[in-house]
Structure 1
């Protein structure tokens, strides 16, 4: 087994979209035609610099990449805009795609990069190139304001004998059972808002999800709070659930240039938080320096 597991909720569940505004981009919902790849990715980057934009795809999922009123917002577009600007490509031209169509659209040349917070999974690595991790997704729990059960992680939930909620089909259930929480104490919910409502209504004591998603959800749900994030352990291995940008096969030089600028951001916690802290990302979501895509792709 790899030292760094690759399981992520993005392998199990599509998150709901939210609203907001940040980066204004023309033609947000229009399709993109294929551009030539040049004679290598060195020339591809030069082509992008010359044309002044890069075509990116998003799946309309907050807080990762979504739009409202012609404005693109979220972790991935914000981070990628900063990186491409540093590479001399000042504009993102986005295309919306359903989640399952993101990689096929990339392979077909409809866009150059997937900017959607996609999890780095071996089966995806076989089809496309991933950047180094741009975030990890530690787990957290949503509880009533004041945290009356004094919960800190799954071990504390087991000890307290509380009832927790998890999303249907999501990996958090395996984390809970792996921590020894009985099936009878685990309730399945269909969408994030159901979890928040169940906490507020007292039907569960805690809703378990990524801290990123819960912090976003808490913004529109008074009366709850989110615990500090933690890394679940499954079969003795910490669960980091990392995500990154995605490029077409053959785009190694472009991907490597992207990685060099990404490292400058992930190596500077203040800059990282300044850029994407508004979306629920913080120092606890910065990938460890030794967490490498090459390892994650091996599975």
Structure 2
């Protein structure tokens, strides 16, 4: 009887230990529990996520992410601004805890980042000189007409362009949107590739020098879902974030916060999950 009891106790202890191990908080929850801030990383990507005065986090992705965090009860939030190409490396190097930069959920990125459930679905587009003299509508036009395309280092557009047959020699990679616009305006590139939102913002600030191509001329596989990025080790926090986001996404409170950045209900994601997107994009 005593041996059976001890055996049962030992088994229970193992089970309890396994449960405790499974319940161990990730580094972000440890950071929060110790009273430290949640550091959100983003670049200068208007209108997605960009810094205002004193690095104030602006843009619809920042507004959304901060709205969800507030709904979770977290208000100690610290903005960290970096180049686009430094977002994922910075997350992995623990320079910040969350990527709010407006990042597409892609299979190649899912290997290094755990994304929240999608908060938007958007398409790519080009900026071209006003009048679109080279007749650019999609990546195939860049390839077939032997044109030069400029885009941001680390942008998904590089991968997409190569997928559609554009050569490395036809792709100019620059730090971000400001340099993309400068290259097209100076004639160093025939078209600048980015998201429709980014392209639209660049056209608006160009003084009429460039216009945005029709995103519907892009292939369907350039339409992508946007998520908030976390470290793989913070899966426990991502689960809580997704639960809070479920009620916040598309709510009147959210739409009020993001409307000033051009986000409308037409941008709300469909019912595809992040797991599905990671496998198909």
TM-score where L is the length of structure 2: 0.64
Aligned counterpart, 1:262: 245
Aligned counterpart, 2:90: 101
CA displacement, residues 154-181 of structure 1 (integer Å, 9 cap, x when unaligned):
567789x584523276553554565567
Alignment of 1:156-175 (within 5 A): 163=147, 165-167=149-151, 171-172=156-157, 175=160
The unaligned stretches of length 5 or more in structure 1 are: 1-38
1:228 to 2:209 alignment = no
Aligned counterpart, 1:76: 61
Question: In 2, are the aligned partners of 1:166 and 1:173 still within 8 Å (CA)?
Answer: no
Match of 1:247 among 227, 230, 233: 230
- Whole-angstrom CA distance in 2 between matches of 1:93 and 1:194: 27
Match of 1:188 among 172, 176, 188: 172
Against the structure 1 CA distance between its residues 118 and 145, is the aligned structure 2 distance closer, same or farther, given a 3 Å change threshold?
closer
- Whole-angstrom CA distance in 2 between matches of 1:271 and 1:147: 39
Aligned counterpart, 1:18: none
TM-score where L is the length of structure 1: 0.61
Match of 1:207 among 179, 186, 192: 192
CA displacement, residues 198-237 of structure 1 (integer Å, 9 cap, x when unaligned):
544556553322212212322321112223334844xxx7
Match of 1:288 among 267, 270, 278: 270
Aligned counterpart, 1:131: 116
Question: In 2, are the aligned partners of 1:134 and 1:243 still within 8 Å (CA)?
Answer: yes
Paired residue secondary structure (2:172): strand
Aligned counterpart, 2:16: none
Aligned counterpart, 1:276: 258
The structure with more helix, counted as a fraction of residues: 2
Q: Which stretch has the larger CA shift, 66-75 or 79-88?
A: 66-75
The unaligned stretches of length 5 or more in structure 2 are: 1-22
1:57 to 2:43 alignment = no
Pick the structure with greater CA Rg.
Answer: 2
Against the structure 1 CA distance between its residues 146 and 249, is the aligned structure 2 distance closer, same or farther, given a 3 Å change threshold?
closer
- Whole-angstrom CA distance in 1 between matches of 2:108 and 2:140: 31
Against the structure 1 CA distance between its residues 278 and 225, is the aligned structure 2 distance closer, same or farther, given a 3 Å change threshold?
farther
Paired residue secondary structure (1:289): coil
| CA RMSD between the two structures | 4.4
- Whole-angstrom CA distance in 1 between matches of 2:167 and 2:236: 49
- Whole-angstrom CA distance in 1 between matches of 2:158 and 2:99: 28
1:127 Cα shift?
A: 5.2
Question: In 1, are the aligned partners of 2:149 and 2:189 still within 8 Å (CA)?
Answer: yes
Question: In 1, are the aligned partners of 2:45 and 2:101 still within 8 Å (CA)?
Answer: no
- Whole-angstrom CA distance in 1 between matches of 2:183 and 2:98: 38
Against the structure 1 CA distance between its residues 54 and 120, is the aligned structure 2 distance closer, same or farther, given a 3 Å change threshold?
farther
Paired residue secondary structure (2:38): strand
